[in-house]
Amino acid sequence: MAVTPAVFGMTGLSLTADEKAFFRDSDPAGYIIFGRNIESKAQLRALTDELRAVQGRDDLAILIDQEGGRVARMQEPLWPKFPAGEVFDKLYDIAPATAIEAARINAQAIAVTLHEVGITVDCHPLLDVRQPDANNVIGDRALGSEPMRVAALGRAILDGLQRGGVVGVVKHLPGHGRTSVDTHKALPTVTASDEELQLDLAPFQTLNKAPMGMTGHLLFTAWDAETPSTLSKTVIQDIIRDRIGFDGLLFTDDLDMEALSGTVPERAERAQIAGCDIALNCWGKMDDMTGIAERLAPMSDKTQQRLDQAMATITDTKDGDSADELAMLLAKRDELIAATA
């Protein structure tokens, strides 16, 4: 059966009969979890186990946005509250090595919570370089406004996630730090020059060996004045693949965002033609999902290779007492942060 190069969402706490049948037939590359899919630890683990059973794959890509701060699908009181990226940026001002170690340990703690419930991929870290006059959709999520700091903290987060048994996704290629509007609501136009945009590319170039990445829906007039980056062959091929040198698995950002025009299936098809590996469709709308499955060409050998290589980076983490491990990691992180307060 040909794999559909898409990641789909679900409507509820378990799969409906229609979802189960569709997922079995379309064989998507993976799934994404949102707050609407979460009620308890046992329920969430049962849902991810159900997805693996439907696909017949143990190494299934099951994604979530668990950054910390205001972007966290798994919330208190069931899970700890994790800090936003800005916390590590501020810590770096005082003690760079401590900030890097705290970011690594924090990411490992996040991964422990994800691994316990069967989630294998975290859409984290942001490598977007923060700009002072930009829309707050990035804001305190960013790891800083200096590219090498962002890269250093981002590398630590990728390492920490991997140690905890989860693959990280660098985002939002080729850079979301200059956005003038929230891409959930409108398409931002970035008029910075090619030379200025080198600042945005730098963290991604430093971490271009990351196994997974995600695009952002922005219009960069310096590179393609007509087409948003997710749908632009120029941006995907010339900037992300060639200039940044990223050869990992490339997801689109959520195709349901209002930054893009056309139907969701049309957007998915255009993204695939532009060079994105995987279409990300988050909302579990059956009409959109079936349309995507009909429009997309089957997963290419190159995309399958990228997916396999990314999932193979997951470390063999034993299902031991995750509560003890988590408590130890959180205590160590808090100790590092407190030491510089």
262 C-beta neighbours (distance < 10 Å), count: 12
Residue 231 CA to its chain's centroid (Å): 18
| Among 59, 184, 194, 308, the one annotated catalytic | 184
Provide the residue type at 271 as one letter.
A
Q: Is 184 a catalytic residue?
A: yes
Joined tokens for residue 148: 């090498």
| Among 89, 200, 224, 253, the one annotated catalytic | 253
Q: Catalogue the active-site residues.
A: 184, 253
